[in-house]
Amino acid sequence: MSRIRRGWALTKKSWALLNAHRELIRFPLYGAVATTLLAIVFLGPGLYLLDQHSLAGAIPLLVIGVYVLSVVGFYFSVGLAAAANLIFSGQDATVADGLAVARSRFTQICGWAAISTAISVLMGVLENQGGLAGNIAARLVGMAWSLVTFISVPVIAIEGTGPVETLKRSASIFRKRWGQQITGNIAIGGAVFLLGLLPAAILIVAGIAIWPSASFVGALLVVIGALTLAIAMLISRALSGVFGVALYRYAVEGEAVGGFTAEELESAVKRKGDHNAPPTATPGTV
């Protein structure tokens, strides 16, 4: 129960900051809209060609699509991290301020997205071609990558490092603060996502069930359920972005900001043999 309470406390404090600066939710909102449109442009044709067994055309489109979506996703994430860092420093920050930082880091973002895409492709190959051993290897790679790169976005936003330097810096910060025996996990925003997931699932299932007899009501329930899920995901991502900056500031400067305590930030990362860390990870983290 103590682990659950600690994870919930992290989420509540992140939510308090997000609620006080509601403009921060616009970063994941804009990112979601942009990636959805770009996914239709790039991934749609790629998936169609894949379904037609035209691998020569499908694979380049899918890889390019994943890369473009990564660039856009990191662009808005860096903007959110920059704005949150300004707020933690006692300054007023707008969406324009955050995006201005993201624009100045665009080259670094593109480089980091390339590494992230390469890791995603590697994990996909391991999962699809490696059998059981490949699935296990992909899972281990994914866990290690998510953990050491959790604060990569704040590193890019605040320090402006290139892709290789960002990877080294992020991993170095974790080793310096939490040691060599870290196994993850970083739990933040998961409760918000789950609280949105359950009612969204109920609404969608109910809508599908009554669709044949009441199509309008059924469609309405499905749409409301989908919107509920989308809102929960946006809030969860915003909370994770805010918390990532707080974790970065604590790891680098030893400063607990945003209402978090040093104990809470210290316990956010689980060490081997440590049974007091938050129990589960949220989407996009370990």
Give the pLDDT confidence of 177-231 residue by residue, as tens digits: 776 544 445 556 566 667 777 888 898 899 899 988 888 888 888 888 888 888 8
How confident is residue 155, by pLDDT bands cut at 50, 70 and 90? Answer: very high
Do the domain assignments include residue 230? yes
Do the domain assignments include residue 286? no
Between 220 and 271, the higher pLDDT residue = 220
pLDDT at position 278, please?
A: 36
Residue 183 carries which DSSP code?
Answer: -
- The count of structural domains within the chain is 1
| Residue environment code for 79-117, b if the CB has 16+ CB neighbours within 10 A, otherwise e | bbbbbbbbbbeeeebebebbbebbeebeebbebbbebbb
Do the domain assignments include residue 285? no
Do the domain assignments include residue 274? no
Enter the pTM of the model: 0.80
Instruction: State pLDDT tens for residues 20-74.
Output: 888 898 999 999 889 888 888 888 888 888 878 887 888 888 888 889 999 999 9
Instruction: State pLDDT tens for residues 221-266.
Output: 888 888 888 888 788 788 888 888 988 998 888 888 888 888 878 7
Do the domain assignments include residue 277? no
pLDDT at position 266, please?
A: 78
Q: For residues 49 and 54, give the distance between their C-alpha atoms in angstroms, rounded to a whole number.
A: 5
| Residue environment code for 31-58, b if the CB has 16+ CB neighbours within 10 A, otherwise e | bbebbeebbeebbeebeebbeeeeeeeb
Q: Which helix (H) or strand (E) holds 81?
A: helix 55-88
Do the domain assignments include residue 283? no
Do the domain assignments include residue 30? yes
pLDDT at position 187, please?
A: 59
Range of the domain at 205: 2-266
Q: For residues 46 and 152, give the distance between their C-alpha atoms in angstroms, rounded to a whole number.
A: 29
pLDDT at position 190, please?
A: 62
For residue 19, pLDDT beyond 50 = yes
pLDDT at position 191, please?
A: 67
Do the domain assignments include residue 271? no
Give the pLDDT mean for 109-121. 90
pLDDT at position 285, please?
A: 35
Average pLDDT, the chain: 81
Do residues 265 and 174 lie in contact, with contact meaning Cβ atoms separated by under 8 Å? no
Q: What is the largest CA-CA distance in the chain?
A: 61
